[in-house]
Chain A
Amino acid sequence: MLQGTLIYGFINSVMLLLVALGFNLTFGISGVANFAFGALYITAGFLAWIGLNTLGLPYWLAGCAAVLITAVLAGLLYRFVVLRVRGLVVSEVIATFGVGLAILELFRFLGFIGFEYTLPEMLDLEVSLGGVIVDGQRLTILLVGAGLTLFLWLFTRHTRTGRAFRAIAQDEHTALTLGINTERVATVSVAFGAAYAAVAALVILPLGTIAVNEGYHVLVNALAVCIVGGLGSTLGVIVASFMIGFAQTFTATYLDTSWMMVVSLLAILVILLVRPSGLFGSQKQLEERI
């Protein structure tokens, strides 16, 4: 029992991590809080579904196309919506939130509701981890979660774009003087965050149906993890995912699934009272917050 809870807690944490990484990445680099994040996540799911079922593409192709299109959509969102209100934080939030809402409710209106909207599992196998049976999809989640985290780490340290990301994250003005096109990097960062959301959607959604409401849940989960971990801090997001992930699974096992949200809320309240900048929020952000 305990072993199972631990393993499923771990998997749940990785799912949270997958969902939060993209949101946090975009915010950490360009300071854009992309409230259309949940909508992009669901969009990726439906795109893959359409590719598979309507167009009859092979799974891998439908998946890649979904990730690409989602990323491009996010880039366009930045160019045509966010850029026009850049710097006005309130307007940025409202505009991205509005776009997300429009996308999600449009899906609902178009009738994308029902049990037929599912993605097939990617790995058809079962393994036993310490006596606990774990299905192929959850295994995929673990692998992809580890892979994406590692990729992010390597990317920001060893590629030109990645280093530009980090330069901007530290100081936009200095980055400008170094000849970095901050506008373009910000666009890429939003697209990049959306691509992360899309990959997360592709590996997580096969566990259930592609439901519009899931878009709101994903946004709430991403925000919760980022608040607890400290916005913009990758390490913070990792730690917070595991804290909230395990806490949720333990409450689900020993209390009831419906209490999971209560746990996240409590975690947020406690963290905000003790450390307003989140666990690993950097000094610069604390400055923002006082």
Chain B
Amino acid sequence: MAAQDTSKQVTRRRERLDRGIKVRSEDIYALNSWREALYLLAPRALPVVALVLLQLLAPEYWQRVLISTTVFALLAISWDLAASSGMVCLGQALFFGVGAYLAGIMNHYLGLPPGLTLPLATLGGGVICTVLLLPVLRLRGIYFAMFTLILPLMIERIIEATKVFGGTEGLSGLTPFAHPLWESFLTMAALWVALFGLRRIMASDYGLVLKGINDNDRAVMSAALNIYRYKAQALFLAAATGAFAGAFMTHSYRFVGMPVFALDYSILPIASAAVGGLGTLAGPALGAFILVPLSEMLRGLGGLRIVIYAVLLVVFTVGLPEGVFHYLRRKYTQFERWTEVGK
């Protein structure tokens, strides 16, 4: 706002300002008009409406794509939640695969319907993954990342070796969902619950502690907070989200097998987060909505798809660490203009 424009010789510079609404703190807004309310609501409501419309109007093939996009968005949210709490996971496939297998096992061996396997696999997957990772909760950064990278790959080999749960064949002929629309709306509902629910948690004082652990875990410990408890809780939330995604896919494909532990399910969430922007949960979800349909369009390229992912991953991580979401948000909440600066 400090534009001194009196002198003759004038240089110009870009100035970046916040838009009208005065933000007093994180959550208390002084809303003065419908326009301001709309300004705040629109970015939240628009995606919800758009997704519902797309789901209803798109051709059937793209409806399927939309469903798997939503599932990957859930995985990306799961990744971001763990990463925001100081646990960078290179093996999201672990959460996905454990959830997928749990649902498959309960359906195949116990004959439970999707209405039961989904919630049970979500909770059970959360618990199992948390317990599996408990020994490495003390590790940070790459140490944790390394362990999570090898865990799903090893589980894959173990299933192959022990031939449990159908071995390399997997379990097929599982119960499908009653109606395709069910599928669409279930994934969507899950996405919005996970996104808005977890975002709310991260914005609370509890979330502050999680972010604190990511930033500086020793300072959190010195504040008499048992970081391992908080990390385990965050891990449970992340794992449950990922396990739901896996359990859903099991019933959607009516099949579960070793590929659920494949690298794809680990890479895509990370790539989504890198493209969308870390640390907001919404960014990675947005990233998934960019990457998955893009990869569908690139289907003709076959194996080159993963190469393109990988390159995007590197380019965004190294060159554009901000990500799409932060960029859009900045454009939305701030505006830029040229001001003249007297010399």
Contacts and interface: CB of A to CB of B under 8 A. Distances in A.
Interface of A: 33, 35, 81, 84-85, 89-95, 97-99, 101-102, 105-106, 108-109, 216, 219-220, 223-224, 226-227, 231, 256, 258-262, 264-265, 268-269, 272-273, 276, 288-290
Given A33-B146, A97-B90, A106 B307 contact: yes
Interface in B283-321: 302-304, 306-307, 309-311, 313-314, 317-319, 321
Given A262-B154, A273-B135, 16 more contacts: A85-B317, A85-B318, A90-B145, A91-B318, A93-B90, A94-B313, A95-B318, A98-B271, A101-B267, A101-B313, A105-B306, A223-B149, A226-B146, A258-B160, A262-B162, A288-B140
B303 A227 contact: no
A109 B304 contact: yes
Given A105-B306, A224-B150, A269 B135 contact: yes
7 cross-chain pairs, A with B, having the tightest CB-CB distances, nearest first:
A258-B161, A261-B157, A102-B310, A98-B313, A109-B303, A101-B310, A98-B314
B88 A93 contact: yes
Contact of A261 (B142, B161, B321): B161
B318 A84 contact: yes
A219 B274 CA distance: 22
Contacts of B319: 84
A94 B274 contact: yes
A220 B147 CA distance: 9
A210 B90 CA distance: 25
B271 to A, nearest CB: 8
A263 to B, nearest CB: 10
B318 A81 contact: yes
B147 A105 contact: no
Contacts of A258: 157, 160-161
Contacts of A97: 90, 270, 313
Contacts of A95: 313-314, 317-318
A90 B83 contact: yes
Given A276-B139, A289-B139, A93 B311 contact: no
A261 B218 CA distance: 35
Contacts of B310: 98-99, 101-102, 105
26 contacts: A84-B319, A85-B321, A90-B88, A93-B90, A94-B270, A98-B310, A98-B311, A101-B310, A102-B311, A105-B310, A216-B153, A220-B153, A223-B146, A226-B146, A227-B147, A258-B160, A258-B161, A260-B157, A261-B157, A262-B157, A265-B150, A268-B147, A268-B150, A269-B135, A289-B143, A290-B218
* Interface range, B side: 35 or more
Interface of B: 83, 88, 90, 135-136, 138-143, 145-147, 149-151, 153-154, 157-158, 160-162, 218, 263, 267, 270-271, 274, 302-304, 306-307, 309-311, 313-314, 317-319, 321
Contacts of B302: 109
Nearest to A109: B303
Contacts of B161: 256, 258-259, 261-262
B138 A276 contact: yes
Nearest to A83: B318
Contacts of B145: 33, 90, 93
B139 A99 contact: no
Contacts of A290: 138, 218
A265 B313 contact: no
Nearest to A89: B141
Nearest to A220: B150
Contact of B142 (A89, A101, A219, A276): A89
Contacts of A81: 314, 318
Contacts of B143: 227, 231, 288-289
